[in-house]
Structure 1
Amino acid sequence: MDKVDVRFPQAAKPAANLPKNAQERAGALIELMGRLTGLLEREAAAVRARRPAKELAQIVRDKQPMTLVYEEISRLLRVDREGLIGLPAEMKSALKEATAKLYAATADNAEALRVGSEAQKVMVDTVVGVITRQQKAPSTAYAAHMGGGRGYSPPPSGPRTSAALNTRL
């Protein structure tokens, strides 16, 4: 049970503006599935084009409320069996077509995200491997050609040992 502070009256929440009957729900669902399909296609293209994370995050933020509304309207339509049966044939075929397009876009989007994730993992693993190899490089080396392995040679140069602070600006 939620606790409500009665000392400070709360403003009433506005009622959701959902379609009232099966015909309105079907029309809204068809339009929403079209918009969601377009958004999924845009996301898949952005992933394949390796667009910046900020752009992908905006697409995800746009997708979430649309998905929630889609689930709710779809549920309301499925629950209304009589209304669903009474829909005109052209609306039923439009629903079927929009559903097929949405499922195809969803599958394509999932594949693009999977491939993008694997490509990113390979890149990260490669960078980690290079850094690990550089960190394992010895900081001092005893040269085998100088006194049977007991001689000293200066540490190797490279990214790990050549970092210096440039104070001349």
Structure 2
Amino acid sequence: MDKVDVRFPQQAKPAANLPKNAQERAVALVDLMGRLTAVLEREAAAVRARRPAKELAQIGRDKQPMTLVYEEISRLLRVDRDGLIALPVELKTTLKDATAKLYAATADNAEALRVGGAAQKIMVDTVVGVISRQQKAPSTAYAAHMGGGRGYSPPPSGPRTSAALNTRL
């Protein structure tokens, strides 16, 4: 159990400011879906443009709270069947259009992330292959180009032996 210092009263934490009825939920959901669609489109564009990982991580941090709020508000709206039925036709149409745009942006975002991940895998596999081939080269050899085919060359040094794979990709 947490200790509470009764000498200094704690301020109450504000309750979640979620919409109270179906009308408010639908309006908030339309606005939220528009903002979430914009973030997904921005993320897909950043992946396609091969923006730095730091920038992509920031977009992910921006996207996560919106996704959680979207899930909660849409759940509350689906549960309130009577309120959903009573919504004006214009709002239902707007909600349907916003949902279609969000689903399209989600599909595009997923495809961009899939292609970006595949491209990254190809790059990593290529680097690993090059490093593996370089490490399999003989460490000592009698070099034909050194002294007419009978000279001894010391073990190679430098890039071949110091190659390492960055595992933080």
TM over 0.5: yes
TM-score under structure 1 length normalisation: 0.84
TM-score under structure 2 length normalisation: 0.84
- Residue ranges of structure 1 left out of the alignment (5+ in a row): 164-169
Is the Cα–Cα contact under 8 Å of residues 23 and 83 in structure 2 kept in the other structure? yes
Partner Cα separation in structure 2 for residue 141 and residue 162 of structure 1: 19
Instruction: Render the CA deviation track for 1:147-166: whole Å, top value 9, x for unaligned.
Output: xx9x5531457732699xxx
Partner Cα separation in structure 1 for residue 76 and residue 53 of structure 2: 35
Counterpart of 2:116 in structure 1 is: 116
Counterpart of 1:30 in structure 2 is: 30
The alpha carbon displacement at 1:144 in A equals 7.7
Partner Cα separation in structure 2 for residue 129 and residue 49 of structure 1: 26
The alpha carbon displacement at 1:20 in A equals 1.0
Counterpart of 1:57 in structure 2 is: 57
Is the Cα–Cα contact under 8 Å of residues 143 and 151 in structure 2 kept in the other structure? yes
C-alpha distance 161-36 of structure 1, shift in aligned 2 (>3 A): closer
SS in 2 for 1:142: strand
C-alpha distance 82-116 of structure 1, shift in aligned 2 (>3 A): same
How many equivalent pairs are there? 158
Instruction: Render the CA deviation track for 1:102-153: whole Å, top value 9, x for unaligned.
Output: 00100110000000000000000000110111111112113589xxx9x553
The alpha carbon displacement at 1:11 in A equals 3.7
Is the Cα–Cα contact under 8 Å of residues 33 and 102 in structure 2 kept in the other structure? yes
Counterpart of 1:166 in structure 2 is: none
- Residue ranges of structure 2 left out of the alignment (5+ in a row): 164-169
Counterpart of 1:5 in structure 2 is: 3
Structure 1 residues 1-169: aligned runs within 5 Å: 3-7=1-5, 10-142=10-142, 151-155=150-154, 159-160=159-160
Instruction: Render the CA deviation track for 1:37-56: whole Å, top value 9, x for unaligned.
Output: 01000000000010000100
Counterpart of 2:167 in structure 1 is: none
Partner Cα separation in structure 2 for residue 161 and residue 28 of structure 1: 59
Is the Cα–Cα contact under 8 Å of residues 143 and 153 in structure 2 kept in the other structure? no
SS in 1 for 2:97: helix
C-alpha distance 14-158 of structure 1, shift in aligned 2 (>3 A): closer
SS in 2 for 1:17: coil
Partner Cα separation in structure 2 for residue 79 and residue 55 of structure 1: 37
- Consecutive aligned runs of 4 or more in structure 1 exceeding 6 Å deviation: none
Partner Cα separation in structure 2 for residue 34 and residue 106 of structure 1: 12
Say what the alpha-carbon RMSD is for the aligned residues.
2.5
Partner Cα separation in structure 2 for residue 27 and residue 20 of structure 1: 11
